[in-house]
């Protein structure tokens, strides 16, 4: 590749052609402030509108300042990143942005984690000249089951739009209006509820301000915990343990499973369980479904629906209900681990401890915002009582722990309660892309071939490539597996299936980049994709450390089937652990 | 046929009229009558000759004698000497100031060289809906010449040598643009004509498309030949129905003649043109925004580079020029680059079309060589200021431009001189302002426009222009403080310096240039709470003149807030603390007793 | 309409049209063959040019004047719309501004019929590219 | 945005389908499609935008984003006699603002609104290019030049019957 020589702040530097000034400066250790720019390396997500104009620098020979995030270097370029002219411009632009931004930082959900707040501190903004005469753009507050849009706080960085349209191809959001009143919104500025939004929460995950945040359910959880008539149990999703530590300043990728359990117990949960238990259960049901369809296929049944698609990601379920309703009989009917957990908890476990369904409160800790919506779906409740009462995100758990004045980093490690706290390594890897299908493969292989796997690590299924595929030798039968994370990638696979081009037998789909580790409810990555990689590593480490690594070997799962469900896909299992899907393509403004 | 053998044409333009051309007509008629000549010599009042500086004007036809600064009493002399004896009245003849020569035949007057119509050469001459009329004026000859006698490189060389620069704004050299587009390697390229004239008060491009659509089509085909494109797209404002209709007619006629389509002039060159419609967004005049709009997106600009010549419409190399630029091309090829570059100034060649409007007598479309002074345009071609008011400023370049003042009147107009003085060529709107125009309000007007037209993508333009507007509004409402003037300037400079596209980079110009040239008006608004033009209502005070007031009570009854007190047949008084300055009393008073200061 | 397939075709066509125009100009009754052009751009139409054009078409016919009325683009005199140009054979063309129906009638009756000028002439104040050599 | 829901008739939906078809269902032709639809229906209510989005395989949000970007597109039905006041610079300096204020006063509506009886709607446009006639007002297809505030009543009266 061609190398370009240039000078930045008096220092010579050589970078490949096509490098931006911002990146070239980084190689010199010069950190030019950025606001709207976002580069999730390795995931192919770059937001580069050049809109905020905070990153402007002086380039010799140019009339105007250049935005360093979006200007490529050229041979002999002389760049100055912090002249008086640059600093004045940067400060004035920041004052402008703040002049159209609410000042309720103290009570803002993003306080302390806000890129805009950080930038105001960095630039030493102490007052906004002329604020008293400055009109602010205001928009209607939009509260959906998962996400709150408080667009008064939008700074038009367009990151959410990039995630929603380019990466997820959901198309719920677009920049609307023009000029001062321009904002990112669903069609007709309706609420997200009336849009094709999947609640994947990727808009929230990248929003630099408090414009997009999760609906806060921590108050409901506190109320439940303080109600003496209620038995409150909690389940924690696999990806939470690999990220929660970040809320307390721990290095990304630090596993905090034990501390998390202790913290939850300290908060007052009567039983601290693990969604991983339900993940093992999912594998039993979904794996059996796969084997069933595969058996029919091998027997020559032409009508069998293959590939089978995983169904544990609620944003993905919302996505195909909106966009591919004609294919709603392809995904597995297995409920997600969160819902399987709730369903078993409010039947099997409630009976065990002799608590009435209404008096048992199930809380889930999820890396996900779509889970908030999922647990509110009508089909997951019995006589109006939901299987899972409240779903809170990893971030909300962080708030709860801080609120309770628990010194998280100093907590001892404790174990989950039994029976629904026991899990295998196969369940843990549900938290990262490729994990569900790897777990399913471990079980399905052994059930199909009757042989025991010597090596359970299917490395070919791992990685961060948006679409991956692998062929596994299933005792002579080549099982073709596809994996996609990100709904845009999922869409490609679905279009292939629709067009009859798909060769896969099974496909795993996760809505978020990296799978649940990159979920919309996780600690904010602030545009640093190495954080996601560290979390994935932690997940695989936990898997390796487990003695049991195949779902069908989980003794409490075996017991559950013996005592309660019978066998996978039994009538009872169908009733409690499976679901059906809806056509939501018309669920918009009018048609 | 005519019974008259001689005509005396007296200028009836507003300027001359003010200096007694009516009396001249009257006197001429009386003189002719007295001499018994009223049946053979006709006196006619005409429109403006556009030479108001030397008015009143009397022209004698058929010998083209041009008398200047004629006084009513000169009528006798003209009749006795010129009409009867055939001797010209020498002291009334125009003296060329440069050569110090008396001009006898007005055809030799420099004045008539003030306007040269190149881009407008066919406007008003041909029927735009009949291709034959265009052909009769050498239409499509330049395309034929290019295709059959020249290589694309030779054509580009010719355009480069002509010195033609983009007429839509910043003045990028057209030949160089074509060369860059030619150099881009691609299987598909596009030629785009930017006909999204969005400058409020400019209509040059529309007039060309309505009056001479083929010249643009021909030039686009030439451009296609040069850069290697077979498709042309005209991006035109949907608000221009007539221009759209004439373009459609022109395209279909050119196709019928084989001047568009396949194998043009039997050379194997294919080129066809489609229309794309704008939908009312000023920012779409910016190339990248225009391209996004053509692709069906919001017309938001993106950073350049990459330039459209490398990656434009649908990611393909795209050459964008505006209507007036294209309209110049065929003439350059037919008459040669040397001819073209002999017109204009050192760096700005050829002519420029301006839409002259505002407080000027001859509102109109004019085309002058680059380097013509503002004075010539305003006071000669434009016929001076309406209603004999005093000239204050001229705004060029629309919302991206600035206000030039008295001291700039002798400035030769070209790209560089306008920019150096805080304005710009822009697309060619030229709005003349008089003493009744408040410069702060004018700046506010343009900012209002920019705020409405900002796409909202980058923060300096989205929020900064809004803040500029608010500051100006505050000043106009009498709430300005000294600090606001400093803030206006800093904010303006930062918006210019940091905005993403040309709209934001030039939007503060109306503020900055008025600050520069009319600081005293700003300080009057801020410190003295006074608007000398009387435009800022909030800064006016209403009072009643004792000597005129008859105590009729009409004003008190009209006042909606009860600010006026006074008994019948007694002096009435306005309480300034209650007065909302609505002007109702002023309207009602029959005795001119209410005054506004 | 036949296709133009070469440069010489175009030139031939141009020359044909030109001579054709001349023939039209020197019509059967050259003394009375009049050409009227009405500026029909948006500004002109907004000011009422369409009505004026219709008037000329109808009235030249009704008053037995051998003439051609055509539309053209903007002449540039926006302050004086509607604008028309009248060319009498053997004369330079004359532009009249601010033409209303009354003025149009006057133009027909006086200028076209007798060559007598009427008020409202717009002096031409520009050079064409052909005169600029 | 408009909160009034309308029900598109079958033939109207078919008309939109036809328009989209004439542009080969190409997403890049969105603006041309919207122009045609607005020409056909007079305005672009949400329901039309949804059909267009579905036909061109675009998100409704994107279509709405485009509609709200361009001032030519309207989501509110225009009055029987749409009044447009030119607020281009030439008209502005010749008093267009006062003329606009008078129309607002007479009609008791703001810019972008339609009078209660559906007769008049008020909008501004930037330069119709008839600067010689400034200030200029358009009512439907008819142009009024050199309009003064006291002439507004007469203009409205012309269309009142």
- Write the secondary structure of A9-53 as one string of H (helix), E (strand) and C (coil): CCEEEEEECCCEHHHHHHHCCCCCCCCCCEEECCCCEEECCCCCC
Q: In what order do the strands lie in the sheet with A360-366?
A: A271-274, A231-236, A360-366, A390-393
Q: The tokens of B249 are what?
A: 């007619």
Q: What is the mean pLDDT of chain D?
A: 90
SS3 of residue B469 by DSSP:
helix
Size of interface A-D (CB pairs under 8 A): 66
Give the contacts of D25 (CB within 8 A, at least 6 positions apart).
D55, D56, D57
pLDDT of res. A391:
98
Q: Is C78–D130 a contact, with Cβ atoms under 8 angstroms apart? A: yes
Residues of B in contact with A97 (CB under 8 A): 459, 463
Residue with tokens 């100009």: C25
Q: Which of residues C43 and A246 earns the better pLDDT score? A: A246
**pLDDT-derived band of residue B1, with 50, 70 and 90 as boundaries?**
very low
Tell me the HSE value of B183 on the side-chain side, using a 13 A CA sphere: 11
- Nearest CA-CA distance, residue C73 and chain D, Å: 13
Residues of A in contact with B470 (CB under 8 A): 130, 133-135
pLDDT of res. B597:
78
What's the rounded mean pLDDT across residues D100-126? 91
Mutate to test the interface with D, among C40, C41, C44, C46 (most CBs of D within 10 A): C46
Asked if residue A114 has pLDDT above 70, the reply is yes
Q: What is the CATH number of the domain that holds B150?
A: 3.40.50.11540
Question: How do the domains of chain A map onto residue ranges?
Answer: 3-122, 282-334+423-577
**pLDDT-derived band of residue A591, with 50, 70 and 90 as boundaries?**
very low
A482 — phi, psi (to 5°)? -120, 150
Q: With a CB-CB cutoff of 8 Å, which residues 151-190 of chain A face chain D?
A: 165, 170-178, 185-190
**pLDDT-derived band of residue B382, with 50, 70 and 90 as boundaries?**
confident
Q: The tokens of A148 are what?
A: 């709150």
Closest by Cβ to A134, choosing from B305, B467, B500: B467
Q: In whole angstroms, how far apart are CA A289 and each of A174, A436, A578, B237? A: 39, 14, 11, 59
Mutate to test the interface with D, among B190, B200, B437, B441 (most CBs of D within 10 A): B200
- Nearest CA-CA distance, residue C46 and chain B, Å: 11
Residues of B in contact with D27 (CB under 8 A): 296
Give yes or no for a contact between B362 and B50, defined as CB atoms under 8 angstroms apart. yes
D3 touches chain A (CB under 8 A): no
Residues of the domain holding C93: 30-122
For the ranges A353-367, B380-394, C114-128, the maximum mean pLDDT occurs at: A353-367
pLDDT of res. A1:
62
- Nearest CA-CA distance, residue B54 and chain C, Å: 15
Give yes or no for a contact between A434 and A517, defined as CB atoms under 8 angstroms apart. no
Taking only the tens place, the pLDDT of each residue in B156-205 is 999 999 999 999 877 899 999 999 999 999 999 999 999 998 888 788 89
Give yes or no for a contact between D28 and B295, defined as CB atoms under 8 angstroms apart. yes
User: Worst-scoring range by mean pLDDT, A16-20, A66-70, A258-262, C123-127?
Assistant: C123-127
Q: Is A196–D54 a contact, with Cβ atoms under 8 angstroms apart? A: no
Asked if residue A589 has pLDDT above 70, the reply is no
Residues of D in contact with B297 (CB under 8 A): 30, 66
Q: Is A97–B459 a contact, with Cβ atoms under 8 angstroms apart? A: yes
Residue C8 within a domain? no
Asked if residue B345 has pLDDT above 90, the reply is yes
- Nearest CA-CA distance, residue D133 and chain C, Å: 7
Asked if residue A246 has pLDDT above 90, the reply is yes
Residue B344 within a domain? no
Give yes or no for a contact between B147 and B267, defined as CB atoms under 8 angstroms apart. yes
Residue B230 within a domain? yes
pLDDT of res. B124:
83
Residue B293 within a domain? yes
Residues of A taking part in catalysis:
286, 289, 312, 332, 371, 374, 379, 516
CA dist B538 and A432 (Å) reads 65
R_g of chain C computed on alpha carbons:
16
Taking only the tens place, the pLDDT of each residue in B198-234 is 888 788 898 899 999 999 999 999 999 999 999 999 9
End-to-end Cα distance, chain B: 60
For the ranges A536-545, C8-17, C87-96, the maximum mean pLDDT occurs at: A536-545
- From B591, B475, B482, B494, select the one nearest B544 (Cα to Cα): B591
Taking only the tens place, the pLDDT of each residue in A492-517 is 999 999 999 999 999 999 999 999 99
- Nearest CA-CA distance, residue A188 and chain D, Å: 6
What pairing do the DSSP bridges indicate for beta strands A11-16 and A271-274? unpaired
Percent of chain D with pLDDT over 70: 98
SS3 of residue A180 by DSSP:
helix
Taking only the tens place, the pLDDT of each residue in B264-314 is 999 999 999 999 999 989 999 999 999 999 999 999 999 988 999 999 999
What's the rounded mean pLDDT across residues D96-119? 91
Residues of the domain holding B583: 540-596
B455 touches chain D (CB under 8 A): yes
Angle at A579 between CA A576 and CA A584, to 5 degrees: 150
Residues of C in contact with D133 (CB under 8 A): 43, 46-47, 78, 81
Nearest CA in chain C to D133: C79
Helix-helix angle B323-335:B213-227, to 10 degrees: 80
D140 touches chain C (CB under 8 A): no
DSSP letters along A401-428, please?
A: HHHTT--GGGPPP-PPPTTTT---HHHH
- Residue B354 pairs with which residues in a beta bridge? B366
B429 touches chain D (CB under 8 A): yes
CA dist B405 and A548 (Å) reads 86
A70 touches chain B (CB under 8 A): yes
C42 touches chain D (CB under 8 A): yes
User: Worst-scoring range by mean pLDDT, A213-217, A245-249, A344-348, B303-307?
Assistant: B303-307
Q: Is B388 left (phi over 0), alpha (psi -120 to 50) or beta?
A: left
D43 touches chain A (CB under 8 A): no
What's the rounded mean pLDDT across residues A362-376? 97
Closest by Cβ to B364, choosing from C1, C3, C76: C76
Give yes or no for a contact between A338 and A209, defined as CB atoms under 8 angstroms apart. no
**pLDDT-derived band of residue B108, with 50, 70 and 90 as boundaries?**
low
- Neighbour count for residue B295 (Cβ, 10 Å): 18
Residue B116 within a domain? no
Q: Is C41–B7 a contact, with Cβ atoms under 8 angstroms apart? A: no
B505 touches chain A (CB under 8 A): yes
The domain made up of A3-122 has a fold known as: Ubiquitin-like (UB roll) (3.10.20)
**Are B570 and B425 in a shared domain?**
no
A213 — phi, psi (to 5°)? -140, 170
Q: The tokens of A403 are what?
A: 């609120």
Looking at 2.20.25.160, 3.40.950.10, 2.40.110.10, 3.60.15.10, the CATH number of the domain A282-334+423-577 comes to 3.40.950.10
Going along A268-387, which residue ranges are E strands? 271-274, 308-309, 360-366, 381-382, 385-386
Asked if residue C26 has pLDDT above 60, the reply is no
Q: What is the CATH number of the domain that holds B462?
A: 1.20.1440.230
Residues of D in contact with A175 (CB under 8 A): 65
pLDDT of res. B2:
57
DSSP letters along B152-173, please?
A: HHHHHHHHHHHT-B-TTSS--B
User: Worst-scoring range by mean pLDDT, A274-288, A298-312, B106-120, B326-340?
Assistant: B106-120
**pLDDT-derived band of residue C132, with 50, 70 and 90 as boundaries?**
very low
Taking only the tens place, the pLDDT of each residue in A517-527 is 999 999 999 88
Q: Is D47–A590 a contact, with Cβ atoms under 8 angstroms apart? A: yes
- Nearest CA-CA distance, residue B295 and chain C, Å: 28
Q: Is B50–C125 a contact, with Cβ atoms under 8 angstroms apart? A: yes
C106 touches chain D (CB under 8 A): no
Nearest CA in chain C to D142: C46
Asked if residue C17 has pLDDT above 90, the reply is no
Q: Which of residues B92 and B511 earns the better pLDDT score? A: B511
The secondary element (H helix, E strand) that includes residue A121 is: helix A115-122
B7 touches chain C (CB under 8 A): yes
Residue B346 within a domain? no
Closest by Cβ to D133, choosing from C41, C47, C77: C47
Give yes or no for a contact between B502 and B426, defined as CB atoms under 8 angstroms apart. no
Residues of D in contact with A188 (CB under 8 A): 1, 46, 49, 60, 64
Asked if residue B101 has pLDDT above 80, the reply is no
Secondary structure, 3-state, A453-521:
CCCCCCHHHCCCCCEEEEEEEECCEEEEEEEEECHHHHHHHHHHHHCCCCCCCEEEEECCCCHHHHCCC
Taking only the tens place, the pLDDT of each residue in B409-456 is 999 999 999 989 888 888 888 999 999 999 999 999 999 999 999 999
Q: What is the CATH number of the domain that holds C100?
A: 3.40.30.10
What's the rounded mean pLDDT across residues C45-49? 87
Give the contacts of B347 (CB within 8 A, at least 6 positions apart).
B163, B414, B415, B416
**pLDDT-derived band of residue D2, with 50, 70 and 90 as boundaries?**
very low
**pLDDT-derived band of residue B152, with 50, 70 and 90 as boundaries?**
very high
What's the rounded mean pLDDT across residues A249-259? 96
Taking only the tens place, the pLDDT of each residue in A151-203 is 999 999 999 999 999 999 999 999 999 999 999 999 999 999 999 999 999 99
Asked if residue A214 has pLDDT above 50, the reply is yes
**Are B355 and B312 in a shared domain?**
no
**Are B503 and B401 in a shared domain?**
no
Residue B202 within a domain? yes
Size of interface B-C (CB pairs under 8 A): 194
pLDDT of res. C93:
85
Asked if residue B103 has pLDDT above 90, the reply is no
Going along chain C, which residue ranges are E strands? 34-39, 67-72, 84-87, 94-96, 121-122, 127-128
**pLDDT-derived band of residue C133, with 50, 70 and 90 as boundaries?**
very low
CA dist D25 and D2 (Å) reads 27
**Are B263 and B287 in a shared domain?**
yes
Give the contacts of C72 (CB within 8 A, at least 6 positions apart).
B123, B124, B125, B126, B127, B128, B211, C37, C38, C39, C40, C85
Alpha helices, DSSP H only, in B308-414?
A: 323-335, 337-341, 374-375
SS3 of residue B581 by DSSP:
coil
Q: Is C5–B212 a contact, with Cβ atoms under 8 angstroms apart? A: no
Q: What is the mean pLDDT of chain B?
A: 90
**Are B14 and B53 in a shared domain?**
yes
Residue C115 within a domain? yes
CA dist A518 and A30 (Å) reads 28
CA dist B399 and B198 (Å) reads 10
**What subunits touch chain A, counting only 3 or more CB pairs under 8 A?**
B, D
Q: Which of residues A24 and C128 earns the better pLDDT score? A: A24
**pLDDT-derived band of residue B50, with 50, 70 and 90 as boundaries?**
low
CA dist B357 and C78 (Å) reads 9
A131 touches chain B (CB under 8 A): no
C122 — phi, psi (to 5°)? -105, 115
Asked if residue D32 has pLDDT above 90, the reply is yes
Q: Is D128–B239 a contact, with Cβ atoms under 8 angstroms apart? A: yes
C81 touches chain D (CB under 8 A): yes
Looking at 3.40.30.10, 3.30.429.10, 3.50.50.60, 2.30.110.10, the CATH number of the domain D81-160 comes to 3.40.30.10
C27 touches chain D (CB under 8 A): no
Percent of chain C with pLDDT over 90: 32
Q: The tokens of A546 are what?
A: 């487990």
DSSP letters along A135-168, please?
A: -------EE-SSEEE-GGG-----HHHIIIIIIS
Q: Is A178–D68 a contact, with Cβ atoms under 8 angstroms apart? A: yes
D127 touches chain C (CB under 8 A): no
CA dist B573 and B587 (Å) reads 16
Give yes or no for a contact between D122 and D101, defined as CB atoms under 8 angstroms apart. no
**Are B69 and B202 in a shared domain?**
no
Q: With a CB-CB cutoff of 8 Å, which residues 357-396 of chain B face chain C?
A: 357, 361-367, 381
Q: Is B128–C21 a contact, with Cβ atoms under 8 angstroms apart? A: no
Total count of domains within chain C? 1
What's the rounded mean pLDDT across residues B352-356? 92
- From B282, B325, B314, B275, select the one nearest B301 (Cα to Cα): B282
Taking only the tens place, the pLDDT of each residue in A396-434 is 999 999 999 999 999 999 999 999 999 999 999 999 999
Q: Is D46–A589 a contact, with Cβ atoms under 8 angstroms apart? A: yes
- Nearest CA-CA distance, residue C23 and chain D, Å: 36
Residue C20 within a domain? no
Q: The tokens of B525 are what?
A: 């608004």
The secondary element (H helix, E strand) that includes residue B426 is: none
């Amino acid at each position: 590749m061609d190398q370009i020589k240039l000078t930045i702040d008096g220092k010579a530097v050589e970078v490949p052609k096509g490098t931006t000034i911002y990146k070239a400066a980084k190689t010199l250790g010069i950190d030019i402030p950025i606001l709207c720019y976002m580069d999730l390396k390795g995931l192919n997500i770059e937001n580069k509108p050049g809109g905020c104009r905070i990153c402007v620098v002086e380039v010799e020979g140019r009339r105007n300042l250049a935005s360093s995030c979006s200007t490529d270097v050229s041979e002999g370029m002389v760049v100055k990143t912090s002249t008086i002219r640059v600093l004045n411009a940067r400060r004035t632009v920041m004052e402008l942005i703040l002049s159209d931004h609410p000042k309720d930082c103290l009570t803002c959900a993003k306080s302390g984690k806000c890129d805009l707040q950080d930038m105001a501190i960095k630039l030493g903004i102490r007052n906004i000249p002329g604020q008293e005469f400055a009109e602010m753009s205001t928009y209607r507050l939009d509260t959906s089951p998962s996400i709150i849009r408080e667009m008064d706080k939008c700074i038009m960085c367009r990151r959410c739009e990039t995630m929603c349209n380019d990466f997820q191809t959901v198309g719920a959001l677009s920049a609307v209006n023009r000029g001062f009143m321009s904002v990112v919104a669903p069609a007709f500025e309706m609420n997200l509820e009336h849009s094709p939004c999947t609640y994947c929460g990727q808009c929230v995950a990248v929003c630099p301000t408090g414009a997009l945040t999760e609906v806060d359910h921590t108050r409901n959880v506190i109320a439940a915990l303080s109600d003496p008539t209620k038995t409150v149990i909690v389940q924690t999703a696999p990806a939470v343990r690999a990220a929660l530590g970040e809320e307390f300043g721990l290095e990304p990728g630090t596993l905090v499973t034990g501390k998390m359990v202790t913290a939850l117990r300290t908060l007052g949960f009567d039983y601290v369980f693990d969604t991983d238990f339900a993940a093992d259960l999912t594998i039993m049901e979904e794996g059996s479904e796969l084997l069933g369809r595969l058996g029919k296929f091998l027997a020559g049944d032409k009508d069998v629906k293959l590939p089978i698609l995983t169904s544990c990601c609620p944003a993905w379920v919302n996505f195909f209900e909106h966009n591919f309703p004609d294919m709603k009989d392809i995904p597995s009917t297995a409920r997600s681990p969160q819902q399987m957990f709730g369903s078993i908890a409010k039947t099997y476990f409630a009976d065990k401890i002799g608590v009435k369904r209404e008096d048992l409160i199930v809380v889930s800790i999820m890396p996900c915002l779509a889970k908030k919506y999922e647990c509110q779906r009508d089909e997951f409740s019995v006589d109006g009582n939901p299987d899972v009462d409240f779903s809170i995100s990893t971030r909300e758990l962080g708030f709860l722990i801080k609120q309770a004045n628990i010194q998280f980093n100093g907590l001892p490690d404790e174990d989950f309660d039994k029976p629904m706290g026991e899990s295998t390594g196969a369940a843990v890897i549900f938290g990262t892309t490729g994990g569900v299908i790897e777990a399913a493969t471990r079980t399905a292989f052994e059930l199909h071939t009757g042989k025991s796997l010597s090596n359970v690590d299917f490395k070919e299924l791992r990685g961060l490539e948006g679409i991956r595929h692998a062929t596994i030798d299933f005792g002579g039968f080549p099982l073709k597996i596809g994996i996609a994370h990100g709904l845009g990638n999922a869409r490609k696979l679905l279009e292939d299936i629709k067009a009859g081009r798909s060769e896969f037998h099974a496909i795993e789909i996760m809505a978020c980049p990296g799978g649940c580790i990159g979920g919309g409810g996780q600690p904010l990555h602030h545009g640093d994709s190495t954080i996601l990689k560290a979390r994935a590593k932690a997940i695989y480490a936990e898997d390796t450390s487990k003695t049991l690594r195949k779902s069908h070997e989980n003794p409490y799962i075996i017991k559950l089937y013996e005592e309660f469900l019978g066998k996978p896909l039994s009538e009872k299992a169908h009733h409690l652990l499976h679901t059906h899907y809806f056509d939501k393509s018309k669920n918009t403004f009018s048609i | 046929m005519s019974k008259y053998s001689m005509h005396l044409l007296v200028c009836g333009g507003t300027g001359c009229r003010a200096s007694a051309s009516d009396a001249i007509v009257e006197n001429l008629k009386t003189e002719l009558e007295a001499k018994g000549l009223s049946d053979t010599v006709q006196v006619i009042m005409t429109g403006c000759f556009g030479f108001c500086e030397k008015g009143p004007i009397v022209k004698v036809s058929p010998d083209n004698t041009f008398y200047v600064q004629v006084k009513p009493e000169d009528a006798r002399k003209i009749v006795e000497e010129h009409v009867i004896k055939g001797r010209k009245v020498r002291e009334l003849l125009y003296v060329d100031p440069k050569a110090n020569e008396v001009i006898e035949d007005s055809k030799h007057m420099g004045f008539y060289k003030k306007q040269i119509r190149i881009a407008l050469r066919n406007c008003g001459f041909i029927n735009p809906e009949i291709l034959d009329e265009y052909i009769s004026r050498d239409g499509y000859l330049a395309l034929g010449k290019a295709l059959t006698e020249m290589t694309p490189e030779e054509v580009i060389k010719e355009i480069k040598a002509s010195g033609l620069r983009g007429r839509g704004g910043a003045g990028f050299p057209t030949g160089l643009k074509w060369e860059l587009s030619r150099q881009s390697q691609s299987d598909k390229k596009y030629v785009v004509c930017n006909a999204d004239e969005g400058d409020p008060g400019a209509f040059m491009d529309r007039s060309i498309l309505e009056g001479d659509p083929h010249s643009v089509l021909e030039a686009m085909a030439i451009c296609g030949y040069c850069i290697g494109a077979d498709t042309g797209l005209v991006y035109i404002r949907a608000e221009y129905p007539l221009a759209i209709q004439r373009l459609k007619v022109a395209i279909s006629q050119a196709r019928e003649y084989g001047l568009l389509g396949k194998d043009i002039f039997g050379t194997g060159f294919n080129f066809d043109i489609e229309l794309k419609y704008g939908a009312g967004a000023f920012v779409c005049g910016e190339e990248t925004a225009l391209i996004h709009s053509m692709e069906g997106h919001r017309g938001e600009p993106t950073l350049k580079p990459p330039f459209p010549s490398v990656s434009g419409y649908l990611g393909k190399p795209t050459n964008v020029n505006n209507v007036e630029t294209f309209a110049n091309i065929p003439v350059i090829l037919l008459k040669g680059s040397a001819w073209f570059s002999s017109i204009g100034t050192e760096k700005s060649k050829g002519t420029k079309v301006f839409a002259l409007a505002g407080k000027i007598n001859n509102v109109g479309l004019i085309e002058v060589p680059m380097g013509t002074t503002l004075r010539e345009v305003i006071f000669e071609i434009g016929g001076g200021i309406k209603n004999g008011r005093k000239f204050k400023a001229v705004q060029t370049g629309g919302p991206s431009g600035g206000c030039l003042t008295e001291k700039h009147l002798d400035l030769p107009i070209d790209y560089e001189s306008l920019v150096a003085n805080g304005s710009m060529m822009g697309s060619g709107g030229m709005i003349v302002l008089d003493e009744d125009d408040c410069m702060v309000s004018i700046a506010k007007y343009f900012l209002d426009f920019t705020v409405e037209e900002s796409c909202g993508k980058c923060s300096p333009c989205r929020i900064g222009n809004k803040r500029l507007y608010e500051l100006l509004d505050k000043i106009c409402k009498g709430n300005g403080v000294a600090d606001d003037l400093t803030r206006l300037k800093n904010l303006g400079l930062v918006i210019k310096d940091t905005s993403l596209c040309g709209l934001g980079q030039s939007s503060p110009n109306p503020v900055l240039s008025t600050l520069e040239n009319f600081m005293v008006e700003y300080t009057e608004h801020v410190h003295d709470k006074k608007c000398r033009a009387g435009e800022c209502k909030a800064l006016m005070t209403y009072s009643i003149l004792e000597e005129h007031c008859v105590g009729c009570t009409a004003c008190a009854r009209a006042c909606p807030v009860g600010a006026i007190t006074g008994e019948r047949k007694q002096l009435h008084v306005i309480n300034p603390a209650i007065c909302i300055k609505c002007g109702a009393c002023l309207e009602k008073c029959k005795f001119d007793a209410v005054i506004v200061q | 309409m036949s296709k133009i397939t070469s440069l010489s075709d175009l030139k031939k066509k141009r020359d044909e049209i030109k001579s054709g125009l001349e023939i039209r100009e020197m019509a059967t009754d050259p003394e009375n063959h009049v050409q009227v052009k009405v500026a029909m751009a948006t500004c002109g139409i907004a000011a009422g040019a369409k009505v004026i054009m219709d008037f000329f078409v109808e009235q030249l016919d009704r008053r037995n004047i051998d003439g051609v009325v055509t539309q053209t683009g903007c002449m540039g005199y926006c302050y004086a719309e509607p604008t028309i140009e009248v060319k009498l054979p053997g004369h330079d063309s004359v532009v009249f501004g601010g033409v209303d129906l009354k003025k149009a009638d006057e133009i027909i009756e006086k200028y076209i019929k007798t060559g007598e000028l009427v008020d409202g002439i717009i002096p031409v104040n520009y050079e064409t590219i052909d005169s600029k050599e | 945005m408009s909160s009034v829901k309308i029900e598109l008739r079958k033939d109207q939906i078919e008309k939109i389908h036809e328009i989209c078809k004439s542009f080969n269902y190409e997403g890049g032709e969105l603006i041309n499609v919207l122009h045609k639809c607005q020409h056909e229906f007079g305005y672009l209510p949400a329901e039309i935008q949804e059909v267009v989005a579905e036909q061109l395989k675009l998100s409704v949000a994107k279509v709405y984003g485009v509609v709200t970007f361009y001032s030519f597109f309207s989501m509110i039905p225009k009055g029987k006699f749409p009044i447009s006041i030119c607020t281009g610079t030439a008209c502005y300096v010749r008093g267009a603002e006062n003329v606009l204020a008078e129309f607002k006063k007479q009609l008791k509506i703001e810019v972008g609104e339609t009078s209660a009886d559906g007769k008049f709607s008020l909008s501004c446009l930037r330069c119709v290019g008839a600067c010689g006639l400034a200030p200029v007002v358009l009512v439907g297809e008819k142009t009024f030049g050199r309009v003064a505030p006291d002439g507004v009543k007469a203009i409205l009266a012309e269309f009142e019957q």
